[in-house]
Structure 1
Amino acid sequence: MVYCTQCGEENSEDSVFCSNCGHKLGESKENTGGKEVLQEMVYVRWNLNKGNKIGTRLYQKILYFTDQNIYIGEGSLIAGLATDLGGIVGLAIENHSLSDREKEAHTINFQEMASNDPDVVIIPYPDILSLKLEKKTFFKPDPKIKLATTDTDYEFIVSQKVKYKRYAQSLPQILGDKVEAET
């Protein structure tokens, strides 16, 4: 399978254009003028108070994988929630909203986003020791991403479980042998 760099849609290997947005597959981005280019977006939930079981809160976040860094930015409450609450209608609403958000993300100036929001976490690729994608199982109902860096270890719960297969393919292409994905 081939994933569109514009909208993230899964396409067959022999496709020339994306079936969702019409973007030419395998085409590199136009000259970005020094801006970082978005490679992948992952909607996650992040428990900032992991040791504190009372009052534990999962924060909705987005992991933006660019060509240079990972940015942990503010997330979307709708990711995963609409499907849980609304079945088929909720899934349609969620997919439309998230597709629009992914298209908008390709125009973000990530350095500007980070300088305007002190809560944005920047993880440079050279600081990453490993990234492990843990698959959903009977005993682990949600797929996880465990990220080890030179400073901190992070653990995220993937909000869009159905995109695990996509992430298992795209993240190793971005980070190389630092990624271990359960298949």
Structure 2
Amino acid sequence: MEGLGVSSVQHLQALSSLLSTQHGDEGDEGDEDFVRRTCISVYLASTSREKKNNKDIWSEEEVAEGSQYDDLADPRPQPEYEILLKQSVGTEDLFLGLNRKDPSSMCCEAMLVKIKLPDTEATDVVLDVKEKFLDLRTPKYKLGLHLPHPTHSHGGTARFFPESGALEVTLLFKRPMDEINMP
């Protein structure tokens, strides 16, 4: 249990003190003093966490992927989009059940993101796909989409349909290999 340090022990002791019922007989002033001491010890325990670099405000795990693309001052609207999950199903799956696939999202291999971009040309679209983030920029629209599943950032395809002004991005899931998710 590598992550348990002094601060974790202090957290547990403070929690134990909060949950114990033995301090209830001291009266109202004792309760206030107990709560004040407990709050101070919990605060001290939480502020004594060790960071890799004391100048760091956040660790890498605390920052969501794609947050560098969040621009609150950008007035461009977000286009309409929908996310569909795709699954390759053959006759052996449908009639015989040989591959043990079911209609759940755990058996899906890809994700289809349909984005409506009216009055947009294919040359105006800038698309960047990370493992868990899709960033789309056009002169009229912007979309920063956190993806529900990790994907292969280089294994997808994108098709633009100029007659309907729609972009379809197909992204392959990054899943561990098991008996359901076989190559």
TM-score > 0.5 by shorter chain = no
Larger radius of gyration: 2
TM norm structure 1: 0.25
Structure showing the higher strand proportion among its residues: 1
